[in-house]
Amino acid sequence: MNKLYPNACKRLWKQQQEQQDEEEQQQEQQQEQQQEQQEQQQEQQQEQQEQQEQQQQQQQQQQQQQQEEEEEEDEAVSAAADDPKKPRWLSQQQQQQQQQQQQQQQQTRSSSSSSSSSSKSAAAAANIKI
């Protein structure tokens, strides 16, 4: 065959070489794209981790604030109850009112904090889906 059709053989060989070159180029491009995608994914994961850490910090701060506020309120209630100038029945009445107020505040706080945390987790979930 080589002797009968030397030009045809050369052409065939040349085509095969070109095809191989093209395939190698495509493979290189694919590898580059994969690397880029992996890098992007890693960046996204890092960002998500940072966001989650920030959210945790915010939640911890909110909890600390709530505890501090509740402690302050408790102190105020006990101080009012300990005031010797007031008659006993008046301070008891005030204590009951303050306890009711505290309960209402705690209920509203807990409902608002749970709704904000659920929206945060929904946002985090949305980020993960993207």
Residue 81 confidence (pLDDT): 62
pTM higher than 0.85:
no
Name the token pair of 9: 């053989």
Mean pLDDT of 88-105: 68
* Percent with pLDDT over 70 in the chain: 63
Q: Is the dihedral of CA 116, 118, 120, 126 positive or negative?
A: negative
Instruction: Give the ranges where the chain is alpha helix by DSSP (H).
Output: 6-82, 88-129
Mean pLDDT for the stretch of residues 105-110: 66
Q: Which residues contact 81 (CB under 8 A, 6 or more apart)?
A: 91, 92, 94, 95
Mean per-residue pLDDT of the chain? 78
pLDDT for 100: 72
Helix, strand and coil in the chain, % to nearest 5: 90, 0, 10
pLDDT in tens, 1-42: 566 677 888 889 999 999 999 999 999 999 999 999 999 999
Average pLDDT, stretch 74-85? 68
Stretch 56-82: mean pLDDT, rounded?
82
Distances (CA, A) of 45 to 52, 53, 126: 10, 12, 13
